[in-house]
Amino acid sequence: MKFTYDVYRYIQYTTIKALICSIPPLPFIFLQSSPLSTVVLQIKYMVINAKKTFCLRVGRRASVICANIVTLNGIALQWSDELRYLGVYIVRSFRFKISLDKPKRSFYRAVNSVFGIVGHVASEEVIIQLFNSKCVPVLLYALEACSLGKSDLSSIGFAFNRFFMKLFRTNNIEIVKSIQSYLGISLPSVVLGNRSVKFELSFGLFAR
């Protein structure tokens, strides 16, 4: 796997997050192609739990069947199409990519919980405040450390706007945009852009 900007960016983010949360940093191991049919994995001073350790391939040959990776005890590690670390789902792809499916499902569950508990008794202002504090962080968690394409941002924006459509009982996106503008609510693309710049400046992440 080639060390790209996206990989460096995510490694730095997860390392900082791990130090803050007192969680062991994710041991990223990059193995170059080998003529051997089996690659023996040996990491000094590191104990590997084979049942909780998975391998995932990212790069131009992501779709190619990989050689077996085994520990010194002879236990083969499982190859996976998706793995989760610190709430972010990394998927097998030709480039460093994350999955937004599960975060969006969690976001919709959080939104439905807000509507189910206070939707009939609270004002729109209170519901929006709960939405910003309880639901939006679920949707945007750690995304400032990931490079998102237009389709990803569009998918996040759609989920975000659906909340306002449901709250104000309208399917007109122009009405939703007017409400958001009046209330001073920033779209996810704007929020993530600001967070990304702040992240790079705060931790000295090198520029592209």
All structural domains of the chain with their residue ranges: 5-99, 101-203
Could you read off the pLDDT of 29-40 as tens digits, one per residue?
444 444 433 444
Alpha helix (H) ranges present in 46-204?
Answer: 101-118, 124-130, 136-140, 150-167, 173-183, 188-203
Question: Which residues of the chain fall below pLDDT 50?
Answer: 1-3, 18-26, 28-45, 206-208
- Decide: residue 164, CB within 10 A, 0-12 exposed, 13-18 middle, 19+ buried: buried
Helix (H, G, I), strand (E, B) or coil at 61: coil
Per-residue pLDDT, 31: 46
Number of H helices, E strands in the chain: 7, 7
Q: How far apart are CA 136 and CA 159, in angstroms?
A: 10
Determine the Cα angle at 168 with ends 162 and 170, to 5°. 70
